[in-house]
A = this chain, B = another copy of it.
Amino acid sequence: MNLLIVGSVATDTIETPFGKVENALGGSATYASVASSYFARPAIVGVVGNDFDKRHINLLKRRGIDLEGLQIDKSGKTFHWSGYYEGDMNQAHTTTTHLNVFESFKPQIPESYRRAPYILLGNIHPGLQLDVLAQVRGHHLTLCDTMNFWISSEPRLLERVFRRVDIVCINDGEARQFCGTDSLPQAARELLKFGPRRVIIKKGAHGVLLFGKKSFFALPAIPLKTVKDPTGAGDSFAGGAIGYLAKSGKTGEAAFRRAMVAGTVMASFCVQDFSLKKTSRLTKSMINKRAAMLIESTKIPNFRI
């Protein structure tokens, strides 16, 4: 393994205008690890319950994901989220959230993961994100994700996470909420003040912005005729992005821009089918082809008047 991913492993019941799935594989660590598996050698730290389907384990294993750190808590059921999408598909509506065994989740990083050169802190309590950082050693590149819930309830803890990581990956609404400004460039500048090298602001169907201390990159999303299920798009993005960084071993602007392409491509595959149906069955050639399409559709000829 060269990429440690900590986050939720869940089963989801999802309804969209394109259909419905019940107890499908989900969770931030799951989406991120599958997306990253085309670039890196990911390992998951998370927890599942006594009902977790063997087929889900097999899917993760087929993608070469190291599961030594996946705790199986026989005392209860797996985290289950149930929700639906309608209209413009950018907004998930939650029907029920059963945290189950995830409620008492304490990340235990196996000894063999503690020197992981790349770390993705998925969307969990910022206190747990800090716990993970306290358990790892050596030089590593760390990316953290979060959500509006922690911004409201634990802003000070989250700030401590932002001070410790190399990359803050956050969506536009969350960046505005955390920084109390409507301007995304201003929000990014404030987030950079905590010390990360890069701030990534995800804008869903509008693409992604990458801010460095002295650099800026904007990448549109890939326009899709149909978005079947947006669940996991942000996690797939983060997994693809840090997976690419782990593969490249570089941290310059070019590597980060390529990582944004990798993330965008993985998110675009993710939303084209329910759960991990599409993302788990890709080939390198499919990924290269879609990346080439994205690059072609954003290429600007020289301009001078």
Complex contacts, A304 vs chain B, CB 8 Å: 288, 291
CB distance from A52 to the nearest CB of B (A): 30
Given contacts A258-B301, A303-B292, contact A185 B225 (CB under 8 A): yes
A216 touches B206 (CB 8 A): no
Query: Which residue of the partner chain B has the closest CB to A295?
Result: B300
Please report which residues of chain A, range 197-255, place their CB below 8 angstroms from some CB of chain B when the two chains form the complex: 203, 206-207, 209, 216-221, 223-227, 244, 247, 254
A95 contacts partner chain B, Cβ-Cβ < 8 Å: no
A298 in contact with B219 given A303-B262, A303-B292 (CB within 8 Å): yes
B219, A223: Cβ atoms closer than 8 Å: no
- The residues of B that contact A223 with a CB separation of less than 8 Å are 184-185, 209, 216, 218
Tally of chain A residues near chain B (CB < 8 A): 48
User: Contact between A297 and B216 (Cβ–Cβ < 8 Å)?
Assistant: yes
Given A223-B216, A300-B298, the answer on whether A87 and B182 have CB atoms closer than 8 Å is yes
- Taking CB atoms, residues of chain B closer than 8 Å to A258 are 300-301, 303
CB-CB under 8 A from A294, the residues of chain B are 300
Q: Nearest chain B CB to A149's CB is how many angstroms away?
A: 22
Copies of this chain, complex-wide, total 2
Contacts of A89 in B (CB 8 A): 182
Point out the residues of chain B lying under 8 angstroms from A287, CB to CB: 305
Whether the Cβ atoms of A218 and B298 lie closer than 8 Å is yes
On whether the beta carbons of A305 and B217 are closer than 8 Å, the reply is no
* A41 in the interface (beta carbon within 8 A): no
Report the Cα distance A302→B255, complex, angstroms. 10
A279-302: contact bitstring with B at CB < 8 Å (1 yes, 0 no)? 000001001100110110111111
A153-211 interface with B by 8 A CB criterion: 182-186, 203, 206-207, 209
Question: Is A39's beta carbon under 8 Å from chain B?
Answer: yes
Quick check: is A261 within 8 A (CB to CB) of the other chain?
yes
Residues of chain B within 8 A of A209, CB atoms compared: 220, 223
Nearest residue in B to A222 (C-beta to C-beta)? B218
Q: Are B257 and A224 in contact (CB under 8 A)?
A: no
Contacts of A218 in B (CB 8 A): 207, 220-221, 223, 297-298
- What is the minimal beta-carbon distance from A177 to any residue of chain B, in angstroms? 12
Does B220 lie within 8 Å of A88, measured CB to CB?
Answer: no
Q: A88-B182, A185-B223, A185-B225 given. 17 additional CB < 8 A pairs? A: A183-B227, A185-B224, A186-B225, A209-B220, A216-B223, A218-B221, A218-B223, A220-B220, A244-B305, A258-B301, A261-B303, A262-B303, A262-B305, A284-B305, A288-B303, A295-B303, A298-B300
